Copies of this chain bind each other. A is one copy, B any other.
Amino acid sequence: MPKLDTAVVGLDIGGTSTRATVLTLTGQRLGSGRAGGGNPTSHGAERAAVELLTALREALSDFDPARVVAGTIGLAGAGRLLADPAGRAAFDQAWQDAGLRCPYAVHGDALVAYASGTAAPDGTVLIAGTGAITAQVRDLRLDRIADGHGWLLGDAGSGFWLGREAVRRLLADLDAGRTPGTLATAVLTELLGSAEIASRPRATVDATIQAVTRRAPVELARLAPLVVDAATHGEPVATALITEAAAHLAESVGRIRAAGAVTPVVLGGGLLTADTPLAAAVRVEIARQWPDAPLRTAGDGAAAAAWLAARDLPEVTDPAALHARLFPAP
């Protein structure tokens, strides 16, 4: 059984965790590993390389690393890593320290998310988590990008955006002397530890602003689950915000995806892979604008990275069949 003798390795390096998967060329999982967050942009390439090595060693504990014939690493800020010789050297060293002798490719996390949803070479991936970004994929390479501009100038419809808008609605209620609704009450409680409004409501306004500005702006994304939860229960302000967020996300898709396109659209990121009202609203919006596009949800990123490594090997004659085995239809 020669094919069981060779394997590919895939890594998905994210801000909160690093995951590694070792697969045979027929899609059998030989090992997996997990380590801490290793995004080189936020953590530094050296720290990222340490997590990379930890995840690789765990994944390869039952398999001879010399038999791995190809590897792919997916991570946010892949372009920056490739442009940084010291960072690249740290990754090379971790790769060798894990006993791997094959070359490896580095791809952006958006491409890996795309590949975890479809084997089609061309399509669109829309990711909404803390931030929001859309990419066109051509021949399984990232082509054009929309948004991903960061919280100050973009990320419309993201977790940051939902959190900020929820606070803005709360402040408008306090200004106007309106009784806060369910969402505003939840936001107030999360930020101030109590939903009580001072006899002079401007004091509560000031306390709310201070509670937000004490932290980094991007931390507003921590409030997004409150919006998602309130919308799940039909709260009107939250529902309106979800609708608006979905429109923003679909608008960013429309910047780079042709009208009438029939290639797949893959939804990724924590806000769109879970069964949230935002995911549902985005599906409706995408289906309205691109009625013939297959809609997919991103899955296991490490397995997708391993698939990207495997598909170019001459032994893998039917990459789509391998993808179907790795990501069975739900």
Chain A residues with CB under 8 Å of chain B are 144-147, 149-150, 152-154, 164, 167-168, 171-172, 175-177, 202, 205, 209, 212-213, 217, 252, 255-256
Contacts and interface: CB of A to CB of B under 8 A. Distances in A.
A172 B255 contact: yes
B212 A153 contact: yes
Given A176-B256, A255-B176, A256-B176, A164 B168 contact: no
Contacts of A175: 144-147, 252, 255-256
B205 A152 contact: no
A219 to B, nearest CB: 11
Given A145-B175, A146-B175, A149-B171, 7 more contacts: A144-B175, A147-B175, A149-B205, A150-B209, A152-B212, A152-B213, A154-B168
A26 B255 CA distance: 63
A217 B145 CA distance: 24
Contacts of A172: 255
Given A175-B256, A255-B176, A256-B176, A153 B145 contact: no
Nearest to A176: B255
B145 A167 contact: no
Contacts of A146: 175-176
Contacts of A164: 152-153
A256 to B, nearest CB: 6
30 contacts: A144-B175, A144-B177, A144-B202, A145-B175, A145-B202, A145-B205, A146-B175, A146-B176, A147-B171, A147-B175, A149-B168, A149-B171, A149-B205, A149-B209, A150-B209, A150-B213, A152-B164, A152-B212, A152-B217, A153-B164, A153-B167, A153-B168, A153-B209, A154-B168, A172-B255, A175-B252, A175-B255, A175-B256, A176-B255, A176-B256
Contacts of A252: 175
A153 B147 CA distance: 20
A41 to B, nearest CB: 13
Of A149, A172, A255, which is in contact with the most chain B CB atoms at under 10 Å from its CB? A149
A24 to B, nearest CB: 37
A217 B150 CA distance: 13
A154 B208 CA distance: 12
A202 B171 CA distance: 36
Of A167, A172, A177, A217, which is in contact with the most chain B CB atoms at under 10 Å from its CB? A172
Nearest to A173: B255
Nearest to A213: B152
A240 B255 CA distance: 19
A153 B214 CA distance: 13
Contacts of A167: 153
A164 B150 CA distance: 12
A171 B145 contact: no
A257 B171 CA distance: 16
A149 B207 CA distance: 11
